Amino acid sequence: MLKKELTEEDVRKLNSKKGLMAILMREPLNIERALRYANYLDKLKDLQVELIRLQKWAIQNNERIIILFEGRDAAGKGGAIRRMTERINPRFMRIVALPKPSEEQKTQWYFQRYVEQMPKAGEIVFFDRSWYNRAVVEPVNGFCTEEEYKIFMKQVNGFEKMILQSGIRLVKIYMSISKKEQAKRFEDIKNDPLKQWKMSPVDENAQDLWDEYTVYKKKMFKKTNTELSPWKIIKANRKTDARIACIEHVLERIPYDKNIEV
């Protein structure tokens, strides 16, 4: 039984191609869930048009933009980035997901390999994890020394200040999920042959190290959630809501021209 009566607009959406897809994509049949997904697709389309407008403004004005994603393992960072980038011009954007540093890179200034990925004029760069690896993932998993961690925490705000003073716009997003939801997503990944590649040794230990991640996450926010370069925490237990929230935040943070024709 439906919790509410369907409006004419609801029926129209459910009779559309998107609505029928939403009805049929999952079992058992759930009209309210299908309507919620159809509404999500409509909202996503509207926001993707705005992202195209934002990118066009950035190209015309030689703007340089970094959109940085951090969060728990399996929080949906990659999915959010895909929805943000799938409709914009690929020639003026990049997705950066750096592997572990090489032996040569380990001898360099920690931020150096990230500096090499900074955007050029008119470009938007999406970081799927970033220099903040050293704030949480590395110390929790023993990938850096305590001294390296302390040096990073002393330098990171100054590093971001330099980025901003150079004219680059920086948006920082942290996607947060519950421990129970993370466990559920890990199980889904393990049981899906198309997604099993996503599971890394770090992911395998994430549940056991949950509390340690929490400790370092709080330290990171306390130190780096500054007025100049704030974090936006997105609750991501429901993926569709989180994707919408991420896009809306970016559109709010970047003062693009909303009247540009697309």
Q: What pLDDT score does 18 carry?
A: 63
Output the CATH code of domain 62-253.
3.40.50.300
Q: How far apart are CA 34 and CA 37, in angstroms?
A: 5
pLDDT of residue 1: 42
As a whole number, the mean pLDDT across the chain is 93
226 φ, ψ (degrees, to nearest 5): -100, 165
Average pLDDT over residues 156-170: 98
Of 204, 244, 257, nearest to 39 by C-alpha is 244
Q: What are phi and psi of 181, to 5 degrees?
A: -65, -40
Q: What is the arithmetic mean of pLDDT over 117-145?
A: 98
Q: What digits encode the pLDDT tens for the residues 236-261? A: 999 999 999 999 999 999 999 999 99
pTM of the model as a whole? 0.90
* Averaged pLDDT for residues 125-140: 98
* Euclidean distance between CA atoms 77 and 71, whole angstroms: 7
Asked if 71 and 175 count as a contact pair (C-beta separation under 8 A), the reply is yes
DSSP string covering 163-199: HHHTTEEEEEEEEE--HHHHHHHHHHHHH-TTTGGG-
Alpha-carbon gap, residue 179 to 72, rounded angstroms: 9
Q: What is the pLDDT of residue 34?
A: 80
- What's the pLDDT band for 103 if we cut at 50, 70, 90? very high
pLDDT attached to residue 111: 98
Give the tens place of pLDDT for each residue, 32-44. Answer: 778 888 899 999 9
The answer to whether 74 and 199 have CB atoms below 8 angstroms apart is no
Are the C-beta atoms of 164 and 228 separated by less than 8 Å?
yes
- The pLDDT of 7-32, averaged and rounded, is 66
pLDDT at residue 2 is higher than 60: no
Report the pLDDT value the prediction gives residue 139, as an integer from 0 to 100: 98
Dihedral Cα 182, 188, 193, 194, nearest 10 deg: -70
Share of the chain above pLDDT 90, in %: 85
Q: Which residues contact 244 (CB under 8 A, 6 or more apart)?
A: 40, 43, 44, 47
